[in-house]
Amino acid sequence: MNARLIDLPKIVDPRGNLTVAEQMKNIPFDIARVYWTYDVPSGERRGGHAHRTCEEIVIAAGGSFDVEVFDGFERKVFHLNHPWQGLYIGTNVWRTLEDFSSGAVCLVLASELFDEDEYIYDYDEFLKTVKG
């Protein structure tokens, strides 16, 4: 499975904690793009696609949500609720984000700039890609 949890450094301070994400240090790629989703209505899903070349780290910067990943052979669900923990998702992994808590913020660090052609939105095409 090309998806796994990554613990990021958590610097504890009585004034408030700090977490750092550094490319090629605790993030296994150069960061080309950062984006976040928020105000996701109750019951809505995000994702529903895979990437051909882009790697991502998904972080619950606030609140919580579930990420279901599927590589064509194995399916896993990760519950993200710690801002010092990220979910690495490699290429050719279908992802669906759901069960967002009120006020949840999903922060994503991506290895590629946005390119519509790099996405796989069709589930059957995804299955053909990963199963040859």
Catalytic residues: 49
Burial class (CB in 10 A: 0-12, 13-18, 19+), 39: exposed
Question: What span, in angstroms and rounded, lies between the C-alpha atoms of 58 and 35?
Answer: 10
Joined together, the tokens standing for residue 57 give: 């780290």
Output phi, psi for 72, to 5 deg.
95, -15
Q: Is 127 strand, coil or helix?
A: helix
Q: Is 94 strand, coil or helix?
A: strand
98 alpha-carbon distance from chain centroid: 12
